[in-house]
Amino acid sequence: MKIWRVLISSKIRIKLLIAFILVVIIPLITVGFYSIHSTSNALEKIALSSASEKIFLKAKKIEKFLNDARFDICFLSQSPTLLSLIDALESKDDSKIAFWRKRLAQEFLAFSQNKRIYYQIGLIDKKGQEIVRVDSYGTLPWIASKDQLRNHKGEPNFVEAFGLSADQVFVSDMSLGGEDMQTSGLLMIEYAVPVLDRQFNKRGVVFTSISAENLLDIVKEEKNVTGGETFLIDKTGRY
């Protein structure tokens, strides 16, 4: 009888011990899983917040880059030297045309040297013919010679820009190259605005071809920080 009592007593103690262990362990496991889940959610929120902040900053940089290019071309179109060249073209005075063309070419050259983001800066007359153009393709900019100047008649940067009002700016889609061999294969965005004379009549177009690589450099900044990828998408949803 004593043996049975001992066995029964031992079984009771074991059951009580198991029950006690379960009472202690189950809450610990529950709390542990909850803590892991909460920590995981918190870390996910932190990561998403950090990624959103970085994307917002990139978007602001891109917006500034594009707005600066818009400001630049409006500034160029209002140059007093450019207006003097327009006057000379209307008067058909060859000596004045040559003088002001040279002056404007030097202005465009200095502007390109300072900015270092433009493939081309140029002036087109009302017939679509280039009057002045400065080129730069990853090297020091130079003034295009007369035999290198070309006609833009029928091209969007001339046709669409010439049809705009004075406060509007033509901006092309990001694309590879242009119509001429020099810009072929270069990733660029074109800007253009109509040029008005002193009587506010349209006399031509100022255009710029801006390197889109500078824009993509902003997108690629710190791309591995969050372990994800960053994409630049246009308004139609294309990459």
Residue 14 lies in a domain: no
DSSP per residue over 52-94, as a string? HHHHHHHHHHHHHHHHHHHHHHHHHHT-HHHHHHHHHHHHT-H
Residue 225 lies in a domain: no
Paired tokens of 203: 């006399």
Give the domain extent around 136.
66-217
Residues 87-111, mean pLDDT to the nearest whole number: 94
pLDDT digits (tens, 9 = 90+) for 195-217: 998 888 999 999 999 887 777 77
b/e map of 46-61 (b: 16 or more CB within 10 Å)? Answer: eeeeeeeebeeebeee
Number of domains the chain is built from: 1
Closest CA to 216 of 232, 201, 229: 232
Instruction: Tell me whether strands 130-135 and 118-125 are parallel, antiparallel or unpaired.
Output: antiparallel
Helical pair 213-220 and 2-77, crossing angle rounded to 10 deg: 160
Residue 222 lies in a domain: no
pLDDT digits (tens, 9 = 90+) for 146-198: 999 999 888 888 899 999 988 899 998 877 765 554 555 678 889 999 999 88
Residue 199 lies in a domain: yes
Residue 128 lies in a domain: yes
CATH of the domain at 166: 3.30.450.20
Residue 35 lies in a domain: no
Q: What angle do CA 91, 193, 189 make, to 5 degrees?
A: 135
Residue 2 lies in a domain: no
Residue 96 lies in a domain: yes
Q: How confident is the model at residue 106 (pLDDT cuts 50, 70, 90)?
A: very high
